[in-house]
Structure 1
Amino acid sequence: MSLTVPVSDRAAPDLSALADSCLGYLAENPEELLAFMQHAGLDPQSLRASIGSVRLQHGLIDYFASNEAILLALCANGNFSPESFMRVWHRINRVE
Protein backbone atom coordinates (compact mmCIF):
# COMPACT_ATOMS: atom_id res chain seq x y z
CA MET A 1 0.00 0.00 0.00
CA SER A 2 1.45 3.32 -1.08
CA LEU A 3 0.55 6.60 0.58
CA THR A 4 0.60 9.80 -1.39
CA VAL A 5 2.13 12.62 0.59
CA PRO A 6 0.87 16.04 -0.42
CA VAL A 7 3.47 18.55 -1.49
CA SER A 8 4.13 20.83 1.45
CA ASP A 9 3.79 24.58 1.42
CA ARG A 10 7.57 24.75 1.84
CA ALA A 11 7.94 23.59 -1.77
CA ALA A 12 6.14 26.74 -2.88
CA PRO A 13 7.93 30.07 -3.25
CA ASP A 14 7.79 32.54 -0.37
CA LEU A 15 4.77 34.88 -0.57
CA SER A 16 6.83 38.06 -0.36
CA ALA A 17 9.35 36.91 -2.97
CA LEU A 18 6.56 35.77 -5.28
CA ALA A 19 4.71 39.09 -4.93
CA ASP A 20 7.97 40.92 -5.66
CA SER A 21 8.34 38.81 -8.82
CA CYS A 22 4.79 39.73 -9.84
CA LEU A 23 5.47 43.42 -9.28
CA GLY A 24 8.73 43.18 -11.21
CA TYR A 25 6.92 41.54 -14.12
CA LEU A 26 4.32 44.33 -14.11
CA ALA A 27 7.04 47.00 -13.98
CA GLU A 28 8.57 45.50 -17.13
CA ASN A 29 5.17 45.37 -18.87
CA PRO A 30 3.49 48.80 -18.57
CA GLU A 31 0.24 47.70 -20.23
CA GLU A 32 -0.16 44.91 -17.67
CA LEU A 33 0.78 47.29 -14.85
CA LEU A 34 -1.97 49.67 -15.95
CA ALA A 35 -4.46 46.80 -16.18
CA PHE A 36 -3.54 45.65 -12.65
CA MET A 37 -3.83 49.17 -11.26
CA GLN A 38 -7.25 49.61 -12.86
CA HIS A 39 -8.36 46.20 -11.59
CA ALA A 40 -7.18 47.01 -8.05
CA GLY A 41 -8.40 50.61 -8.08
CA LEU A 42 -4.90 51.98 -7.49
CA ASP A 43 -3.33 55.17 -8.75
CA PRO A 44 0.47 55.53 -8.91
CA GLN A 45 0.69 57.17 -5.48
CA SER A 46 -1.44 54.54 -3.74
CA LEU A 47 0.49 51.76 -5.47
CA ARG A 48 3.78 53.18 -4.23
CA ALA A 49 2.35 53.56 -0.72
CA SER A 50 1.19 49.93 -0.64
CA ILE A 51 4.48 48.35 -1.75
CA GLY A 52 5.41 45.61 0.71
CA SER A 53 1.97 45.40 2.32
CA VAL A 54 0.34 42.00 2.74
CA ARG A 55 -2.79 43.34 1.08
CA LEU A 56 -0.89 44.25 -2.10
CA GLN A 57 0.98 40.94 -2.02
CA HIS A 58 -2.31 39.03 -1.89
CA GLY A 59 -3.78 41.24 -4.62
CA LEU A 60 -0.82 40.59 -6.92
CA ILE A 61 -1.01 36.82 -6.37
CA ASP A 62 -4.78 36.84 -6.98
CA TYR A 63 -4.38 38.93 -10.13
CA PHE A 64 -1.78 36.63 -11.65
CA ALA A 65 -3.73 33.51 -10.64
CA SER A 66 -6.74 34.84 -12.53
CA ASN A 67 -4.79 35.56 -15.75
CA GLU A 68 -3.23 32.44 -17.23
CA ALA A 69 -1.19 34.24 -19.89
CA ILE A 70 0.73 36.46 -17.48
CA LEU A 71 0.94 33.65 -14.91
CA LEU A 72 2.69 31.41 -17.43
CA ALA A 73 5.01 34.23 -18.54
CA LEU A 74 5.89 35.05 -14.93
CA CYS A 75 6.62 31.40 -14.15
CA ALA A 76 8.77 30.96 -17.25
CA ASN A 77 10.77 34.08 -16.44
CA GLY A 78 11.01 33.25 -12.74
CA ASN A 79 12.03 29.61 -13.14
CA PHE A 80 9.22 28.21 -11.03
CA SER A 81 6.21 26.15 -11.98
CA PRO A 82 2.61 27.34 -12.24
CA GLU A 83 1.81 24.58 -9.72
CA SER A 84 4.15 26.08 -7.13
CA PHE A 85 2.62 29.52 -7.76
CA MET A 86 -0.87 28.11 -7.30
CA ARG A 87 0.17 26.42 -4.03
CA VAL A 88 0.93 29.90 -2.69
CA TRP A 89 -2.39 31.20 -4.03
CA HIS A 90 -4.20 28.30 -2.39
CA ARG A 91 -2.37 28.83 0.91
CA ILE A 92 -3.35 32.52 1.15
CA ASN A 93 -6.95 31.86 0.07
CA ARG A 94 -7.56 28.81 2.25
CA VAL A 95 -10.80 29.03 4.18
CA GLU A 96 -10.50 27.48 7.59
Structure 2
Amino acid sequence: MALKATLPTLEELADICLNHLAQDPEQLADFMSIAGLSADRLRAAVGTRSFALGLLDYVVQSEALLLAICQSSSLKPETIMRVWAKHNPAG
Protein backbone atom coordinates (compact mmCIF):
# COMPACT_ATOMS: atom_id res chain seq x y z
CA MET A 1 0.00 0.00 0.00
CA ALA A 2 1.44 3.38 -1.01
CA LEU A 3 1.45 6.24 1.43
CA LYS A 4 -0.52 9.31 0.47
CA ALA A 5 1.74 12.30 -0.09
CA THR A 6 1.05 15.24 2.18
CA LEU A 7 -0.01 18.42 0.42
CA PRO A 8 1.65 21.65 1.45
CA THR A 9 -0.64 24.05 3.26
CA LEU A 10 -1.97 27.12 1.48
CA GLU A 11 0.38 29.24 3.57
CA GLU A 12 3.42 27.09 2.79
CA LEU A 13 2.63 27.23 -0.90
CA ALA A 14 2.12 31.00 -0.80
CA ASP A 15 5.55 31.37 0.83
CA ILE A 16 7.14 29.25 -1.92
CA CYS A 17 5.41 31.29 -4.63
CA LEU A 18 6.24 34.66 -3.08
CA ASN A 19 9.88 33.68 -2.61
CA HIS A 20 10.01 32.72 -6.28
CA LEU A 21 8.43 36.02 -7.36
CA ALA A 22 10.80 37.97 -5.13
CA GLN A 23 13.69 36.64 -7.22
CA ASP A 24 12.12 38.10 -10.39
CA PRO A 25 11.30 41.80 -9.83
CA GLU A 26 9.44 42.08 -13.16
CA GLN A 27 7.17 39.14 -12.30
CA LEU A 28 6.63 40.47 -8.78
CA ALA A 29 5.73 43.90 -10.18
CA ASP A 30 3.24 42.25 -12.56
CA PHE A 31 1.57 40.40 -9.68
CA MET A 32 1.45 43.55 -7.56
CA SER A 33 -0.06 45.51 -10.44
CA ILE A 34 -2.75 42.91 -11.12
CA ALA A 35 -3.51 42.60 -7.40
CA GLY A 36 -3.54 46.37 -6.91
CA LEU A 37 -0.84 46.22 -4.24
CA SER A 38 1.73 48.86 -3.39
CA ALA A 39 4.90 47.76 -1.62
CA ASP A 40 3.40 48.75 1.75
CA ARG A 41 0.12 46.95 1.05
CA LEU A 42 2.06 43.87 -0.10
CA ARG A 43 4.00 43.77 3.17
CA ALA A 44 0.77 44.17 5.15
CA ALA A 45 -1.02 41.46 3.15
CA VAL A 46 1.66 38.76 3.38
CA GLY A 47 0.50 36.02 5.72
CA THR A 48 -3.20 36.60 5.21
CA ARG A 49 -5.45 33.97 3.70
CA SER A 50 -6.78 36.34 1.03
CA PHE A 51 -3.24 37.18 -0.08
CA ALA A 52 -2.30 33.50 -0.26
CA LEU A 53 -5.40 32.72 -2.34
CA GLY A 54 -4.77 35.63 -4.70
CA LEU A 55 -1.14 34.70 -5.15
CA LEU A 56 -2.02 31.08 -5.89
CA ASP A 57 -4.67 32.21 -8.38
CA TYR A 58 -2.04 34.33 -10.12
CA VAL A 59 0.42 31.43 -10.29
CA VAL A 60 -1.99 28.86 -11.70
CA GLN A 61 -3.04 31.23 -14.50
CA SER A 62 0.44 31.09 -16.03
CA GLU A 63 1.71 27.68 -17.04
CA ALA A 64 5.25 29.03 -17.48
CA LEU A 65 5.25 30.52 -13.97
CA LEU A 66 3.67 27.41 -12.48
CA LEU A 67 6.32 25.19 -14.06
CA ALA A 68 9.15 27.51 -13.00
CA ILE A 69 7.97 27.45 -9.39
CA CYS A 70 7.65 23.67 -9.53
CA GLN A 71 11.16 23.33 -10.89
CA SER A 72 12.70 25.59 -8.27
CA SER A 73 10.79 24.05 -5.36
CA SER A 74 10.77 20.38 -6.42
CA LEU A 75 6.98 20.31 -6.39
CA LYS A 76 4.84 18.71 -9.05
CA PRO A 77 2.35 20.92 -10.90
CA GLU A 78 -0.39 18.53 -9.77
CA THR A 79 0.48 19.27 -6.15
CA ILE A 80 0.02 23.00 -6.60
CA MET A 81 -3.18 22.45 -8.57
CA ARG A 82 -4.58 20.18 -5.83
CA VAL A 83 -3.98 22.84 -3.19
CA TRP A 84 -5.52 25.46 -5.47
CA ALA A 85 -8.58 23.26 -6.17
CA LYS A 86 -9.00 22.52 -2.46
CA HIS A 87 -9.33 26.24 -1.74
CA ASN A 88 -11.28 27.13 -4.90
CA PRO A 89 -14.04 24.52 -5.14
CA ALA A 90 -15.86 26.52 -7.80
CA GLY A 91 -12.70 26.48 -9.95
Q: Would you say same fold, with TM above 0.5?
A: yes
Q: Which amino acid aligns with 1:41?
A: G
Runs of 4+ displaced beyond 2 Å? none
Unaligned runs of 5+ in 2: none
> Distance between the aligned counterparts of 1:49 and 1:13, measured in 2?
23
Larger Rg: 1
> Distance between the aligned counterparts of 2:49 and 2:14, measured in 1?
9
Unaligned runs of 5+ in 1: 1-7
Identity %: 44
Q: Which amino acid aligns with 1:78?
A: S
**Counterpart check, 1:66 vs 2:61:** yes
* Displacement after TM superposition at 1:11 (Å): 3.3
**Counterpart check, 1:12 vs 2:7:** yes
> Distance between the aligned counterparts of 1:80 and 1:13, measured in 2?
10
**Counterpart check, 1:47 vs 2:42:** yes
The total of aligned residue pairs comes to: 87
TM-score by length of 1: 0.86
